[in-house]
Amino acid sequence: VEAARGTTREVPFRVAVAQWVRACGQQPLVRVNAPDSSFFAEDCAALAHLALGGLVVPKVNDAGDLAPLHASWPGIGLFPLIETATGLENAPSIARAAGVRQLLLGALDLHAECGIDFPNPGLMEYARLRLVLASRMHAIEPPIDSPHPSLHQLDEVSEDARAAATL
């Protein structure tokens, strides 16, 4: 749901996502707007009666961001996107939060929020290790790495994938 930004596209996009979820025959993960977004409550309301595999929640800064979701949907898996310095530092408590199944790294937004040009190998290694350790500590699935933004620089994409795979 999160991909459609701007009030003129939000409602039709929510309807389209809900129709797709009903028709797909699966229980997909659906990304919603960030918990502090003015669109978040409407996203959740639009998805409330659908059979979902989980919610991808962007810009999670602490476990408290997920508590209302878990309280409303205790059986749904939560997949927090770690995209801020605060979220990265709070990764262990986020991984421990009720309903969390797996952490996801949002490297581009993390770099932007930190004011660091992408890709910075030091930041990437630190972020990946932090999420791996938090996941391991709290016995959740290993984290999902961030997609690489470039499809045209295959050497860079391959190097980045190899670095992630070593963890």
Report DSSP letters for 126-138, one per residue.
Answer: HHHHHHHHHHHHT
Positions in the chain whose pLDDT score sits under 50: 4
Would you state the pLDDT for residue 150? 80
Q: Which two tokens stand for residue 133?
A: 């350790």
In the chain, what's the furthest Cα-to-Cα distance? 44
Partners of 56 in the beta sheet? 31, 79
Return the closest-CA partner of residue 164 out of 122, 128, 120, 118.
128
What is the pTM (predicted TM-score) of this model? 0.88
Q: Secondary structure of 14-47 in the HEC alphabet?
A: HHHHHHHHHHHCCCCEEECCCCCCCCHHHHHHHH
Instruction: Give SS3 for 153.
Output: coil
Helix (H) / strand (E) element for 80: namely strand 77-82
Would you state the pLDDT for residue 112? 96
Q: Which two tokens stand for residue 65?
A: 């961001």
**In the block, which residue shows the tokens 């963890």?**
167
Would you state the pLDDT for residue 88? 98
Handedness of CA 114, 126, 32, 9 (dihedral sign): positive
